[in-house]
Amino acid sequence: MSVHDLVRLLPDPAVLRARCRAVALLDTLVSVYEPMHGFAVDWRPGVDLASMDNGSGDQYAVVFDPAGVFLYGFDHESDATPWREEPRAHWPGLLDGLPAALAPYPQAPEFQFDGFFDATVCAWREAGATRWECGPVAFAPGETDGADRLFDLLADGSPEAWVAFAEDYYERPCDRDAVAALLAGVPLDRRTVAALSATADFAAVAARARAMGHPVQDEPAP
């Protein structure tokens, strides 16, 4: 899968935002390490940010701006890495056609490494648009930009995809029904937390969920 496949698979922005939030919340529950997925409400005023950093050189960010959504990823092993030459250079066409309203994001300090925007995948969708777009990048047979490795969970969105990821990456079983509930936006409750982690503190998880904008089941007053 390249970015050309990715833009056909990504859901509408509202669905993608909810999916990113759920993935980040799930990660806080099942991760035995520092969670690799994050979701920040009001990262900038009125702008939310979903992110992933696997600690091994791969990362992505999805910016939810009122003007639209900007998505980028960096797969350090892909053919499209800017590090394939010196000085670093983007894969031809990577950012061509990026709308002016979203154009400042590749220059955001948070997305710079040593003064350069390290990216192998970029896609966007302006507010009011009916489809996702990407630049006119081209790949020879066998070449990759890493879109499949970076965005498979967001493109798929199924409980099965998350369970397969968690059981492979964290090497632990993962309750499919609890995963499905959070991906569907069901309010977080004690049963769901316990199904995903026997040691998680519900109050702490609930606080993180509220900070991400995920609903939490109100508990009866004592």
Q: What is the pLDDT of residue 189?
A: 95
For the record, the structure tokens of 92 come out as 């031809």
3-state secondary structure string, 58-93?
A: CEEEEEEECCEEEEEEECCCCCCCHHHCCCCCCCCC
Residue 170 has a pLDDT of 86
pLDDT for residue 40: 97
The CA distance from 89 to 134, in Å, is 17
Q: Give the type of residue at 145.
A: D
Q: Which two tokens stand for residue 208?
A: 């993180």
For residue 87, say if its preceding peptide bond is cis, omega within 30 degrees of 0: yes
Coil, strand, or helix at residue 35?
A: coil
**28 — phi, psi (to 5°)?**
-65, -25
Place of tokens 């009011």: 128
Q: What is the pLDDT of residue 203?
A: 93
CA distances 78 to 5, 36, 87, 121, Å, are 16, 20, 17, 10
User: How many of the other CB atoms lie within 10 Å of CB of 205?
Assistant: 20
Average pLDDT along the chain, 222 residues, taken 10 residues at a time: 96 97 94 89 97 94 98 96 94 98 96 95 97 97 94 96 92 93 96 93 94 84 44
CA–CA distance, 27 with 220 (Å, rounded to integer): 27
> Quick one: angle between helices 159-169 and 147-156, nearest 10?
130
CA 35 to the chain's CA centroid = 12
Other beta carbons within 10 Å of 184: 10
Positive or negative: CA dihedral 137, 140, 144, 147: positive
Distances, alpha carbon 99 to alpha carbons 92, 104, 105, 113, in Å: 17, 10, 11, 23
| pLDDT value at residue 173 | 87
Closest CA to 166 of 2, 27, 11, 17: 27
Query: How much is the pLDDT for 171?
Result: 87
Which pLDDT belongs to residue 222? Answer: 46
The token duo for 81 is 């890495």
pLDDT at position 219, please? 61
